[in-house]
Structure 1
Amino acid sequence: MKIYNNLSEFSKLKHAIVTIGTFDGVHFGHQKIINQLVAKAKADGGESVILTFFPHPRMIIDPENQDLKMINTINEKAKILENLGVDHLIITPFTRDFSNQTPNDYIKNILVDTIGIKHIIIGYDHRFGKDRTGNLVDLKRAGLDYGFTVEEIMEQDINDVAVSSTKIRQSLLEGKVSLANAYLGHPFSIFGSVIKGDKIGRTIGFPTANIFVEETYKLIPSDGIYAVTVEMEEKLKAESLKLKGEAPKPYTLHPTPSTFKGMAYIGQRPTINGMTRNIEVNIFDFNQEIYGQDIKMNFLKFLRHDVKFTGLEALKVQLQKDKDNTLAYFKSQESATQ
């Protein structure tokens, strides 16, 4: 999949099959549209194009609302779309100027002149242009003028999925990751880099990797303990160049990530009177130093809420119970698939 960070980077196609949306979470409802997009492009000998926006339009139109968090970062979304077989992803910076285009200018300047649209697959309630005044009728009318066709995703089809990004966000904020994952069709994940902590976990037999998530708009689930899998890519240090004055070759990432089981913690660590909200993971059967490494945590099951214990010894006893419960969960999942 080719990724473009602006419309100006995109070269007009001869036969573009297009859909438009923020696609936060890329949930089952989104996948229904995207699968149709990819299938249509293959059937017509065209190329599939997704036009998405960053930041989320609501962050620009309603800047006072700081509560909106995204299920995916833009990089996470791109990876999922790539796995679905999309040919082109255009990430358009969403600005007030962009939002003030008339529906006709939006269609002509972007869809027709820049992308080369021949067919668009779009939800029945899609709105675009200044004050969101453009609609399906405008697209169909413009299609007659500019020579593209419009395929409507009917209300019945979308409602049958019974999924929305809002429902998924709410489920995650309530710790209901199993429900959120059922809506998503894939595990909710957090991607971040491992940073140094105060190493208290090591003193009680449960060392943790502290995760820093750079994107402040990323949704973090409810505080508590979760069963997770952890993916990390092995860093292979290339040999330094021998020629004088040349910098060492950069680190490269092994193409196949290693996956481990573990339990994640989200919270302020009330037992030690913590002041900041932490994201930590105890990776089972793992004892390597991974500071600075990027890892991905896939959230599979909520185990319990965050609790303040009387001291570290009581915390240690509970963490062993949490580990036992986590391992029992994985064992049950493995038995179910056999």
Structure 2
Amino acid sequence: MKIYNHLSDFSKLNNAVVTIGTFDGVHYGHQKIIRKLVEKAKNSHGESVILTFFPHPRMIIDPENQDLKMINTINEKAKILEGLGVDHLIITPFTRDFSNLSPQDYIKNILVDTIGTKHIIIGYDHRFGKDRSGNLTDLKSAGQHYGFDVEEIAEQDIHDVAVSSTKIRHSLLEGNVSLAADYLGYAFSIFGRVIKGDKIGRTIGFPTANIFVEETYKLIPGDGIYAVTVEMSQLEDKDSLPEYKTYKGMAYIGQRPTINGMTRNIEVNIFDFNQEIYGQDIKMNFLKFLRHDVKFTGLEALKIQLQQDKEDTLTYFKSLS
């Protein structure tokens, strides 16, 4: 898959099969649309193109509202789309100027003159252009003029899936990572760098890797303890490609109330692992919510609970086999 960080980087195609959207989460409903896009491109000897936006349009149109968090970072989204077989991903910077394009200019300047659209697959309720005034009727009318077909994703098809990015965000914020995975079709994950912490976990037999997530717009699940898998590279020597290994573990999200913590932490206790990995990037896949964050009477009480959490996590993994 070729990735373009601006429309000006894209070379017009002879037969572009296009869909448009933010596709946050690339959930089960999105995947249904994208598979249809890829299949149509192959059957018509064309090339599949996804036009997406970054930052999310709501972040630009309503900048005072900082509550909106994304299920995927832009890099995570690109990796999922590549796995679905998409040929081209255009990541358009969403700006005020872009949002003020008239529907007519949007269609002619972007879809026709820049991309070379011959077929577009779009939802029944898709809106575009200034004040979101453009709609499916405008696209169909323009298609007759410019020579592209419009395939509508019917309302019933979308509602049959019964899933949305908003539902997934709510599930994750409530800690319900299992339900989020059902909607997504894959486990929600966090990608971040291991940084130094205060090493309190080591003193009670549960050393943790503290994770720093660079992208401030990335959604972090609700506070609590989770069963997770951890993926990290194992680089044997500088001349070889890294091999990725997966470990089991339990993750913690919260402010560590037992020690009167002041900041929200993301930590993971990796089972059967004792290497120093400061500065390394790791990926955590959230599989099951175990319990809410609790303030204990002291570190000894916390240690007893963590031992139980580990047992519960191992029991969960055994249930999968």
Q: TM-score range by the shorter chain?
A: over 0.9
TM, length-normalised to structure 1: 0.94
- Cα deviations by residue, 1:261-295 (Å, 9 ceiling, x for unpaired): 10000000011111100000001111111111111
Match in the other structure for 1:10? 10
Match in the other structure for 2:250? 263
Provide the rounded CA distance (Å) in 2 between the counterparts of 1:5 and 1:261. Answer: 36
Query: CA shift at 1:233, angstroms?
Result: 1.6
Match in the other structure for 2:293? 306
- Structure 1: tracts of 5 or more residues without a match: 240-251
State the SS of the aligned residue for 1:233. Answer: strand
CA contact (8 A) 1:52 1:92 kept: yes
- Correspondence list, 1:128-143, <5 A: 128-143=128-143
Match in the other structure for 1:246? none
- Correspondence list, 1:9-158, <5 A: 9-158=9-158
Match in the other structure for 2:311? 324
Match in the other structure for 1:223? 223
Provide the rounded CA distance (Å) in 2 between the counterparts of 1:3 and 1:142. Answer: 27
Provide the rounded CA distance (Å) in 1 between the counterparts of 2:303 and 2:174. Answer: 25
State the SS of the aligned residue for 2:140. Answer: helix
Match in the other structure for 1:243? none
In structure 2, the CA distance between the partners of 1:253 and 1:307, relative to structure 1 (3 Å rule), is farther
Provide the rounded CA distance (Å) in 2 between the counterparts of 1:124 and 1:4. Answer: 27
Matched, 1:274 2:232: no
CA contact (8 A) 1:233 1:253 kept: no
Query: CA shift at 1:333, angstroms?
Result: 1.0
CA contact (8 A) 1:234 1:253 kept: no
Query: CA shift at 1:117, angstroms?
Result: 0.5
In structure 2, the CA distance between the partners of 1:284 and 1:225, relative to structure 1 (3 Å rule), is same
Provide the rounded CA distance (Å) in 2 between the counterparts of 1:329 and 1:155. Answer: 38
What is the letter of the counterpart of residue 310 of structure 2?
K
Query: CA shift at 1:236, angstroms?
Result: 5.1
Provide the rounded CA distance (Å) in 2 between the counterparts of 1:302 and 1:139. Answer: 44
Provide the rounded CA distance (Å) in 2 between the counterparts of 1:145 and 1:216. Answer: 43
State the SS of the aligned residue for 1:67. Answer: coil
What is the letter of the counterpart of residue 97 of structure 1?
D
State the SS of the aligned residue for 1:218. Answer: coil
Provide the rounded CA distance (Å) in 2 between the counterparts of 1:76 and 1:219. Answer: 13
CA contact (8 A) 1:196 1:210 kept: yes
The ranges of structure 1 where at least 4 consecutive aligned residues each deviate by more than 3 angstroms after the TM superposition are: none
Match in the other structure for 2:174? 174
Query: CA shift at 1:167, angstroms?
Result: 0.4
What is the letter of the counterpart of residue 205 of structure 2?
G
- Cα deviations by residue, 1:153-192 (Å, 9 ceiling, x for unpaired): 0000000000010000001111111111101110000000
Query: CA shift at 1:238, angstroms?
Result: 2.5
Query: CA shift at 1:235, angstroms?
Result: 3.4
Match in the other structure for 2:271? 284
State the SS of the aligned residue for 1:318. Answer: helix
CA contact (8 A) 1:225 1:265 kept: yes
Matched, 1:297 2:287: no
RMSD between superposed Cα atoms in Å: 1.0
What is the letter of the counterpart of residue 102 of structure 1?
S
Provide the rounded CA distance (Å) in 2 between the counterparts of 1:100 and 1:295. Answer: 40
Number of equivalences: 321
What is the letter of the counterpart of residue 68 of structure 2?
L
Match in the other structure for 1:212? 212
State the SS of the aligned residue for 1:316. Answer: helix
Provide the rounded CA distance (Å) in 2 between the counterparts of 1:156 and 1:140. Answer: 20
What is the letter of the counterpart of residue 219 of structure 2?
L
Match in the other structure for 1:248? none
What is the letter of the counterpart of residue 306 of structure 1?
D
Query: CA shift at 1:237, angstroms?
Result: 4.9
Query: CA shift at 1:234, angstroms?
Result: 2.2
